[in-house]
Amino acid sequence: MADAAADPFPDPFKVTILVLPGSSMMTVASCLEPLRALNRVSGAERVRWRALTPDGGGVTLSNGLPFAGHGAFDSEAGGDLLLVVAGFDALRHAPRAALRRALPRFGAFAGIEAGAWVLGALGVLDGRRATTHWEDFEEFAARHPGTDVVADRWVIDGRVMTAGGASPAFDLMAHLIRARWGEAVALDVASVFVYDEARAASEPQPLVSLGRLSAREPRVAAAVRAMEAALDHPLSTEAIARRAGLSVRRLETLFRATLGTSPGAYYAGLRLLAARRMVADTDLALGEVALRTGFGSLSAFSRSFRRQTGTAPRDARAAARASPGGASP
């Protein structure tokens, strides 16, 4: 796909988007809307796309809204590109048998967000580089030891692609449009959405999206990145200040001014945020969650978790499993 000629072909490029229940609306839109805009800015049907669901019925997205689609995905599907878009409970919802039979009929295919779990379950990521949403990196890598799992925003390895979420999916679509139809067309598509493609594919997915803070106060951003990189072995405030090129007092002043809290309180909240996601979205033992988020013992973790959330980790996990969103793939 990335090596395709820039000149358009007489026949439209055929794209199928399989949308699974529990997908993010933003991620679905990041795959669909660049294709719609491509035809609009071109004044011609350069791409013919269809959005399908596993059985042809409407699916419920992660925000609770329905998505109708154009019909059912079946094993006779084929075309130039298949995008598998998934979110919660991806493996439960995926039509794996139909996908396994259909994949050879596509020139290229991509797992978008939790769609990587689906491709991994089909064995097509073995021996390849791939990514998924940052919340799932460790669990995904553990379940797919034959895959080189990287923290990149999106990855292309031969005819197989993966993207970590809504924004990386848009980046990937912009790259594919540029590769096939050229820079000018890609810029026209980006302009429809007032979109600036500012990040490279290999840039790591962040735990915290710092946005304007990186430009407004890069020293605080550097401190947050240092915290983020050391959740399992928390750094002292002094060590964080050194990495940001600041004194402890100046670091504390800047944190108060920009984030309204102290470095220590922010760090604790960051670790508990990661812990809450692991509790809700993975099957990791709670003791392992405690270790990965820098707590010395399960009891210390449970006390901090309950203090912040008002519930015990075990009860929070049970509630997440009982919710409509369900558990992670």
Residue 130 has pLDDT above 90, yes or no: yes
**CA 230/CA 328 separation, integer angstroms:** 24
Q: Who contacts 328 (Cβ-Cβ below 8 Å, separation ≥6)?
A: 88, 114, 135, 136, 139, 281, 282, 283
d(CA 194, CA 190): 6
Structure tokens at 159: 């005819």
Q: What is the pLDDT of residues 176-213, one digit of tens each?
A: 999 999 888 888 898 889 887 666 666 656 555 565 66
User: Strand, helix or coil at 316?
Assistant: helix
DSSP letters along 259-298, please?
HSS-HHHHHHHHHHHHHHHHHHH----HHHHHHHTT-SSH
Residue 174 backbone phi and psi in degrees, to 5: -60, -40
Q: What is the mean pLDDT of residues 159-171?
A: 94
User: 102 φ, ψ to 5°?
Assistant: -85, -30
Q: What is the pLDDT of residue 270?
A: 87
The rounded mean pLDDT for the chain is 87
- pLDDT for residue 246: 93
- Residue 14's nearest CA partner among 119, 112, 115, 106 is 106
* pLDDT for 8 beyond 60: no
Structure tokens at 239: 């060590």
Under 8 Å CB-to-CB from 111, ≥6 apart: which residues? 84, 86, 117, 118, 119, 120, 125, 130, 132, 161, 162, 163
For residues 136 and 120, what is the distance between their CA atoms, to the nearest angstrom? 13
pLDDT of 284-311, one tens digit each? Answer: 899 999 999 999 899 999 999 998 888 9
Domains of the chain from N-terminus onward: 13-192 (3.40.50.880), 213-321 (1.10.10.60)
Question: What token pair was written down for 206?
Answer: 């962040």
Classify 184 as helix, strand or coil: helix
| Strand 106-113 with 79-86, pairing | parallel
3-state class (DSSP) for residue 9: coil
Distance between CA 190 and CA 167 in Å, rounded? Answer: 13
CA distance 55 to 179: 33
Is residue 1 predicted with pLDDT exceeding 60?
no
Mean pLDDT confidence for 247-271: 91
Angle, vertex CA 255, rays to CA 251 and CA 258, nearest 5: 135
In the chain, DSSP assigns E strands to: 13-19, 47-52, 59-60, 66-67, 79-86, 106-113, 129-130, 148-149, 154-157, 160-163
Residues 6+ apart with CB under 8 A from 78: 102, 105, 106
pLDDT at 13: 95
